């Protein structure tokens, strides 16, 4: 770790800019928060400020109307399921690209393939995919969505993990090979223990993406009992109108679990990115 | 000989599971969909082969040309504004010990929010009746008297701003981790020679984080191609197509206008973008830029 | 069967306690509707239609699902995959036409004769669901564009509903000079709102007779009347008739224009009959509201008309395994006019106003007299042949999206009105050649 040393005057200057940048984020979110604890009638007279009367019932209403307990569970299942499929498999792929074949043509081909995959708009393939899923009986099920989410998030996870694993000292692997370890053993006993921070980081990013996803969710799930979190925001709007206070409360409740996770793992989250893409 | 072959195959065994999933979910349906670009399928009825008609029509399509142009502007916008702000934020953060974790969390926070939520916040703030406009009016500042989302001249940038607002904190995290890897003695040496902050950034920090920087450029260029949700939620491409981008136009043609064949042709054209991006990076790799 | 086993195992694997016990003894009829789970609309429909139907008999189990604001996308995708509900909801004729062309709808001709639907549903609405001589869909709601106005404000100032263009424009100027908007309206959250305005100007400036001729191909969209109507609309739009300016119009959503109208920021609200819902907000105001047909704005005036419009349709899925049961559900809904009105009243007459021949006696004693009078007036006026057309009911797919999407380009001065209408004509010609037009009853 290294930091640049600054004079006191510089430090104040730094903080000023950082505070400005922070305010540009905090203020809009504060408005969202204020609206979430405002009585609906106050929106018209006091659209931006702190409420004159705090109404926590918005949260209760959103909780009940949006069926929060259930969608929370559904989203958790989707997130955990996706992590369970996507992270180990992406790890295997990253290991292959970084350790087994670091300079081979495989890396180039697969790298290109995944890059192209990242750039295809979902609107292009969602229709045929739906029809395929129907024939595979994967529609309207957690499993069907978990497979889709794993595929959608795999490229980024693979790139991230590869850039971390490529930093691992190759000597360790060579030594183990001499001791007769197979590639799978190299993966489980050296690569995984040494690069677990990046597993955690990609897990957080993939989990976040799944938590917030709604295009595939509303298309592939038609049973309300297995609907995920992102779809409930719409429960408070009609064809033409919105109930801002309830939507704000629901939005906060939707963000809260992820915010807590990121606070808990903040330091580790960074260490998974450390040396990401860097070659010392 | 067989042994050698098997040995070469080993990397593939590790790749196959995730590649197969990815291939089934994304590649196969995309190819199926692209095959429709030679047809006039409306998404319901018979599929008629019409050759290259969709492409002839595309080249005369005013909106398609606008969308291509807007995607280009979008990419350039994301390659400049969020990247500069994030570089500034990250560079300043490395010089701060107190509250550093706090700042970092704040910067990252919008990235945690779903796109719908971010759009909700900004649509509300830009609203001419109850948003920032009337609020600033109280102080005699006539900014945002009209929502920038509803003005032809600003809508694309307004949408880009909201997307960037949510995205730049992610870049900060990537950059700051790279900046921490920079050897401290380099800064000390520069200090002795009386380098300014800008010089330190220009001649030490930036060259040292170049691989991460290039990675971020690649990711931004790739992610700019299918940019959709912010446009769709905030403006729907309007007013008067002033914020129309390719993915939104594709969506409109396929799902609103019942022109699935035409939408596939748009999708096919989008691949040209992809190949341009990839070629650029291929050249950079040749030039020995580590990515 | 395989599907069932897989679904069951998935279900038990991941959501042990979330699956409600299905009832095996009854025939299951599924039905997808628009709206969001948990919304007021969904709650009303579930309680008043699903639950009451299920309680009324013990052979059929009706299950209504809510697919979000846009029911068409999930329905279309499901139909393509050979799935979908037994009862299909679409948002209008354009989709019915496409579903019919794709062979996804079951003919209801037999049921219609058997249960007498052809006599219950108003003829103009019934005909919209007749393709190649057979009955495929019926509207579950009918609408019209009307003018709500602040009656108190009008009385205070001695204003009356304009009878021709010059009265219309001078009233607008008077209202503007008092610091109000002539009309509350805006398109935020629903971009196709623009087509309401286009349709209004076609019906009230060009007139329904010429509009009809253009719809059936006897007139061109590029004819002088249509150009004039849209030039006028553009002029009025840029003059700020709706919410003060084009930008405000784009930024104003349902809540916004409701508030404008209720709080006297605007004097009038030209909106569909779904706007009756907004009028409930007058209950605690000193102002009172009134409703009238849209003013005729041609130079010489004319008879006011009501535009025919349907909001949403119902059909039976061609691949339904229980079409007879689905027809029974539909018949249960259609058979009791006062029950339909009772549902509809709960939604402020914005939804579920099935076009049946209502009489004064069908209304509950507590029904809103203004709504009742409107509905009876609608029957009288349209019965006399004074009816117009709405774009979203009578336009084929391509022209129907172009009419609102590219209208913005006209207002932005990117294209001229003539260029816009030339493109309209081209899209109509294409649809006509491909036999994709919506059935239009003879005038």
Mutation target for B interface from A100, A102, A121: give the one with most B CBs within 10 A: A121
Residue B43 covered by a domain: no
The number of C-beta contacts closer than 8 angstroms across A and C is 105
CA C35 – CA B188 distance, rounded (Å): 64
**CB C149 within 8 Å of CB C323:** no
* C 60-99 residues with CB < 8 A to A: 65-69, 73-74, 77-78, 80-83
Claim to verify: residue B108 and residue B29 sit in the same structural domain: no
ipTM: 0.88
For residue C270, which phi and psi values (nearest 5 degrees)? -90, 110
DSSP C284-342: GSS--EEEEEPPP-STT-----EEEEE--EEEEBTT-S-HHHHHHHHHHHHT-HHHHHH
Judge whether B90 is closer than 8 Å to chain A, CB to CB.
no
**DSSP letters of B110-172?**
HHHS-HHHHHHHHHHHT-TTTSHHHHHHTTT--SSSS-GGG-TTTHHHHHHHHHHHHHHHHHH
Could you tell me the two tokens for A184?
């799978």
Nearest C-alpha of chain B: how many angstroms from A146? 11
Separation of alpha carbons C78 and B111, rounded Å: 33
Residue B269 forms part of a structural domain: yes
Whether B8 and B148 share a structural domain: no
Q: B8 lies in a domain?
A: yes
Which residues 6+ apart lie within 8 Å of C400 measured at CB? Answer: C94, C195, C391, C392
Measured CA angle at C349 (ends C344, C355), to 5 deg: 75
> In this structure, is residue B46 part of a structural domain?
no
B170 and B106 in a common domain = yes
**Which of A6, A21, A270 lies closest to B89 in CB terms?**
A21
Rounded mean pLDDT, C44-56? 91
For chain B, the C-alpha Rg in angstroms (whole number) is: 24
pLDDT one-digit tens code per residue, A55-102: 888 898 888 877 888 899 999 999 999 999 999 999 999 999 888 877
Same-domain pairing of B257 and B121: yes
Specify whether the backbone of B176 is left (phi greater than 0), alpha (psi in -120 to 50) or beta. Answer: alpha
pLDDT over 60 (residue C1): no
State yes or no: cis peptide before B239, omega within 30 of 0: yes
Instruction: Mark whether B169 and B242 lie in a shared domain.
Output: yes
Whole-number pLDDT of residue C8: 43
List the one residue out of C185, C200, C197, C199 whose CA is nearest residue C253. Answer: C185
Q: Which of residues 13-72 of B touch A (CB under 8 A)?
A: 13-15, 17-19, 21-22, 24-30, 32-34, 43
C6 with A137: Cβ contact below 8 A: yes
Q: Where are the alpha helices (DSSP H) in chain A?
A: 8-36, 42-45, 57-65, 68-95, 105-119, 122-135, 142-165, 170-178, 183-186, 192-194, 196-212, 215-220, 244-264, 266-273
Cβ–Cβ gap B146/C397 under 8 Å: no
* pLDDT, position A275: 53
SS (H, E, C) A70-117: HHHHHHHHHHHHHHHHHHHHHHHHHHHHHHHCCCCHHHHHHHHHHHHH
B24–A124: do the CB atoms touch at under 8 Å? no
The answer to whether A35 contacts B173, with C-beta atoms less than 8 Å apart, is no
Reading chain B (291 residues) residue by residue, the pLDDT tens digits are 444 445 567 788 899 999 999 999 999 999 999 999 999 888 777 888 998 999 999 999 999 999 999 999 999 999 999 999 999 999 998 888 788 888 988 999 999 999 988 998 998 899 888 888 888 888 888 888 888 999 999 999 999 999 999 999 999 988 888 888 788 888 888 888 888 888 888 888 888 888 788 888 888 998 899 999 899 989 988 899 999 999 999 989 988 888 889 999 999 999 888 888 888 887 877 775 555
More confident residue, B260 or C17: B260
| Inter-chain touch C34–A81, beta carbons under 8 Å | no
Is any Cβ of chain A less than 8 angstroms from the Cβ of C40? yes
**3-state DSSP of B248-272:** HHHHHHHHHCCCHHHHHHHHHHHHH
Is 70 exceeded by the pLDDT of residue A2?
no
Domains, chain C, ordered by start? 2-142+309-379 (3.40.190.10), 143-308+387-433 (3.40.190.10)
Which chain B residues are within 8 Å of C101, Cβ to Cβ?
42, 44-45
Q: Is 2.40.110.10 the CATH classification of the domain at A61-273?
A: no
pLDDT of C12 above 80: no
pLDDT in tens, A109-151: 888 888 888 888 888 898 889 888 888 889 889 999 999 999 9
Do residues A129 and B25 touch, judged by C-beta distance below 8 A? yes
CB contact under 8 A, B178 and A129: no
Q: Which residues on C lie below 8 Å from A131 (Cβ)?
A: 77, 80-81
Domain extent at residue B9: 1-38
Burial A49-75, CB ≥16 within 10 A → b, else e? eebeeebeebbebbbebbbbebbbbbb
Same domain for B26 and B92, yes or no, is: no
Say what the pLDDT of residue B191 is.
Answer: 84
The pLDDT value given to residue A234: 67
Number of domains in chain B: 2
Residue C350 in contact with residue C276, Cβ under 8 Å? yes
C-beta neighbour count of B99 within 10 angstroms:
15
Q: Mark whether B133 and B167 lie in a shared domain.
A: yes
Same domain, B2 and B93: no
DSSP for C266-295?
Answer: EEEEEEEGGGHHHHGGGGGSS--EEEEEPP
Cβ–Cβ gap B21/A5 under 8 Å: no
Burial of B143 (0-12, 13-18, 19+ CB in 10 A): exposed
Interval C221-248: pLDDT, tens: 999 999 999 999 999 999 999 999 999 9
- Provide the pLDDT for residue A280: 33
Helix (H, G, I), strand (E, B) or coil at A154: helix
Residue of A nearest to B278 (CA): A112
Please choose, from the candidates A153, A163, A279, A280, the residue with its C-alpha nearest in 3D space to the C-alpha of residue A216: A153
Does A142 contact chain C (CB < 8 Å)?
yes
State what percent of residues in chain C have pLDDT above 90: 53
Check residue A5 and give its pLDDT: 59
Question: Contact A274/B177, CB-based, under 8 Å?
Answer: yes
In CATH, what number is assigned to the domain containing residue B262?
1.10.3720.10
Q: Reading across the β-sheet that carries C87-90, which strands appear in turn?
A: C60-66, C27-33, C87-90, C313-316, C138-139
From chain B, the residues in CB contact with A104 under 8 A are 11
Whole-number pLDDT of residue A219: 80
Q: Do B89 and A18 touch (CB under 8 A)?
A: yes
Domain boundaries, chain A: 8-55, 61-273
CA distances from B143 to A141, B118, B127, B137 (A): 49, 21, 12, 8
Contact across the interface for C81 and A227, Cβ inside 8 Å = no
Does one domain contain both B126 and B190?
Answer: yes
pLDDT at C405 over 60: yes
Q: Which residues are within 8 A (CB) of C297 and not within 5 positions of it... i.e. 6 or more apart?
A: C162, C164, C165, C168, C201, C204, C205, C232
B71 and B26 within one domain: no
Residue of B nearest to C405 (CA): B240
Residues 93-132 of B with CB under 8 A from C: 123, 126-129
- Shortest CA distance to B112 belongs to which of C374, A132, A258? A258
- Which residues of chain B have a CB within 8 Å of the CB of A85? 21
Q: Closest approach of chain C CAs to the CA of A243, in angstroms? A: 9
Inter-chain CB proximity A219 and C10 less than 8 Å: no
A128 touches chain B (CB under 8 A): yes
Distances in whole angstroms, Cα of residue A132 to Cα of each of A163, B28, C6, C80, C209: 34, 10, 16, 11, 49
Backbone angles phi, psi at C354, to 5 degrees: -70, 135
Task: Please tell me the pTM assigned to this model.
Answer: 0.87
> Residue A224 is nearest to which of C15, C65, C81, comparing CB atoms?
C65
Statement to judge: residues B132 and B29 lie in one domain: no
Chain segment C111-129, per-residue pLDDT in tens:
999 999 988 888 888 888 9
From A70, A134, A234, residue closest to C36, measured CB to CB: A234
pLDDT category of residue C202 using cuts at 50, 70 and 90 = very high
**Residue B21 and residue B145 share a domain:** no
Are the Cβ atoms of A96 and B11 closer than 8 angstroms? yes
Minimal Cβ distance to B19: which of A101, A110, A255: A110
Distance from the C290 Cα atom to the nearest Cα atom in chain B, whole angstroms: 26
pLDDT confidence of residue A241: 61
């Amino acid at each position: 770790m290294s930091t640049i040393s600054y004079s006191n005057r510089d430090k104040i200057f730094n903080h000023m800019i950082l505070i400005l940048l922070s305010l540009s984020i905090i203020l809009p979110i504060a408005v969202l928060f204020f609206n979430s604890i405002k009585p609906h009638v106050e929106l018209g007279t006091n659209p931006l400020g702190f409420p004159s009367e705090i109404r926590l019932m918005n949260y209760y209403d959103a909780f009940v109307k949006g069926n929060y307990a259930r969608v929370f569970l559904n989203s958790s299942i989707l997130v955990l399921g996706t992590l369970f499929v996507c992270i180990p498999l992406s790890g295997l792929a990253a290991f292959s690209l970084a350790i087994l074949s670091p300079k081979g043509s495989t890396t180039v081909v697969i790298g290109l393939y995944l890059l192209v995959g990242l750039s295809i708009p979902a609107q292009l393939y969602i229709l045929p995919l739906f029809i395929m899923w129907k024939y595979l009986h994967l529609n309207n099920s957690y499993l069907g969505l978990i497979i889709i989410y794993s595929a959608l998030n795999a490229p980024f996870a693979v790139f991230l993990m590869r850039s971390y694993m490529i930093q691992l000292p190759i000597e360790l692997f060579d030594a183990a090979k001499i001791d007769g370890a197979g590639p799978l053993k190299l993966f489980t006993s050296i690569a995984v223990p040494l690069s677990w921070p990046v597993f955690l980081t990609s897990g957080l990013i993939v989990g976040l993406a799944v938590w917030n996803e709604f295009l595939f969710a509303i298309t592939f799930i038609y049973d309300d009992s297995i609907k995920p979190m992102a779809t409930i925001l719409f429960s408070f709007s009609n064809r033409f109108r919105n109930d801002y206070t309830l939507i704000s409360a629901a939005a906060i409740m939707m963000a809260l679990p992820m915010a807590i996770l990121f606070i808990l793992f903040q330091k580790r989250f960074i260490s998974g990115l450390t040396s990401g893409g860097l070659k010392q | 000989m067989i042994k050698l072959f098997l040995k070469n195959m080993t990397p593939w065994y590790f790749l196959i599971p995730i590649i197969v999933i990815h291939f089934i979910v994304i590649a196969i349906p995309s190819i199926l969909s692209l095959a429709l670009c030679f047809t006039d399928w409306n998404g319901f009825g018979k599929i008629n082969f019409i050759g290259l008609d969709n492409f002839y029509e595309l080249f005369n399509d005013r909106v398609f040309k606008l969308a291509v142009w807007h995607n280009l502007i979008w990419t350039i916008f994301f390659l400049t504004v969020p990247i500069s702000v994030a570089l500034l934020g990250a560079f300043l953060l490395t010089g701060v010990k107190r509250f550093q974790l706090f700042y970092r969390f704040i910067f990252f926070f919008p990235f945690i929010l779903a796109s719908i939520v971010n759009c909700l916040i900004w649509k509300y703030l830009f609203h001419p009746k109850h948003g920032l406009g009337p609020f600033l009016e109280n102080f005699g500042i006539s900014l945002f008297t009209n929502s920038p989302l509803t003005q032809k001249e600003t809508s694309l940038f307004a949408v880009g701003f909201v997307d960037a607002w949510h995205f730049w904190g992610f870049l900060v995290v990537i950059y700051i981790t790279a900046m921490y890897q920079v050897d401290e003695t380099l800064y000390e040496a520069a200090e002795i020679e009386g380098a300014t902050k800008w010089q330190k950034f220009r001649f030490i920090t930036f060259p040292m984080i170049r691989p991460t920087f290039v990675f971020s450029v690649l990711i931004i260029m790739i992610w700019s191609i299918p940019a959709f949700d912010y446009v769709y939620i905030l403006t729907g491409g309007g007013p008067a197509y002033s914020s129309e981008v390719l993915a939104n136009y594709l969506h409109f043609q396929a799902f609103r206008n019942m022109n699935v064949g035409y939408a596939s042709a748009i999708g096919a054209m989008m691949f040209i973008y992809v190949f341009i991006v990839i070629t650029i990076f291929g050249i950079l790799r040749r030039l020995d830029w580590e990515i | 069967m395989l599907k069932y086993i897989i679904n069951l195992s998935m279900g038990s694997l991941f959501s042990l306690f979330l699956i409600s016990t299905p009832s095996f003894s009854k025939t299951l009829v599924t039905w997808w509707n628009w709206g969001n789970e948990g919304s007021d609309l969904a709650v009303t429909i579930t309680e008043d239609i699903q639950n009451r139907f299920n309680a009324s008999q013990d052979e059929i189990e009706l299950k209504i699902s809510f697919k979000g604001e846009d029911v068409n996308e999930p329905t279309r995708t499901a139909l393509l995959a050979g799935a979908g509900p037994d009862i299909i909801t679409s948002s209008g004729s354009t989709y019915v036409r496409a579903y019919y062309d794709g062979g996804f709808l079951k003919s209801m001709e037999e049921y219609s004769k058997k249960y007498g639907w052809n006599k219950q549903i108003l003829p103009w609405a019934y005909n919209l669901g007749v393709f190649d001589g057979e009955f495929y869909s019926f509207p579950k709601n009918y609408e019209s564009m009307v003018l709500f106005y602040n009656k108190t404000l009008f009385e205070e100032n001695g204003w009356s509903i304009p009878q021709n263009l010059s009265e219309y424009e001078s009233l607008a100027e008077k209202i503007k000079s008092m610091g109000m908007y002539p009309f509350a309206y805006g398109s935020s959250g629903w971009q196709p709102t623009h087509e309401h305005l286009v349709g209004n100007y076609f019906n009230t400036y060009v007139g329904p007779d010429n509009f009809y001729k253009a719809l059936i191909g006897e007139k061109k969209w590029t004819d002088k009347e249509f150009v004039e109507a849209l030039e006028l609309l553009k002029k009025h739009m840029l003059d700020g008739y709706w919410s003060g300016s084009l930008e405000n119009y784009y930024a104003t959503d349902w809540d916004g224009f409701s508030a404008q109208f209720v709080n006297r920021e605007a004097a009038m609200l030209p909106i569909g009959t779904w706007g009756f819902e907004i009028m409930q907000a007058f209950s605690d105001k000193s102002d009172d509201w009134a409703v009238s047909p849209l003013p005729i704005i041609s130079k010489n005036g004319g008879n006011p008309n009501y535009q025919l419009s349907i909001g949403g349709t119902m059909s039976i899925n061609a691949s339904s395994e229980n079409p007879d049961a689905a027809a029974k559900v539909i018949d249960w809904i259609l058979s009791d006019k006062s029950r339909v009105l009772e549902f509809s009243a709960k939604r402020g007459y914005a939804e579920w106003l099935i076009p049946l021949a209502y009489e004064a006696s069908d209304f509950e004693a507590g029904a809103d007299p203004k709504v009742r009078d409107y509905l009876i007036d609608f029957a009288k006026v349209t019965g006399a042949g004074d009816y117009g057309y709405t774009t979203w009911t009578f336009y084929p797919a391509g022209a129907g999206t172009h009419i609102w999407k590219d209208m913005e380009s006209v207002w932005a001065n990117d294209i001229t009105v003539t260029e816009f209408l030339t493109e309209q004509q081209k899209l109509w010609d294409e649809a006509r050649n491909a036999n994709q037009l919506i059935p239009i009853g003879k005038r």
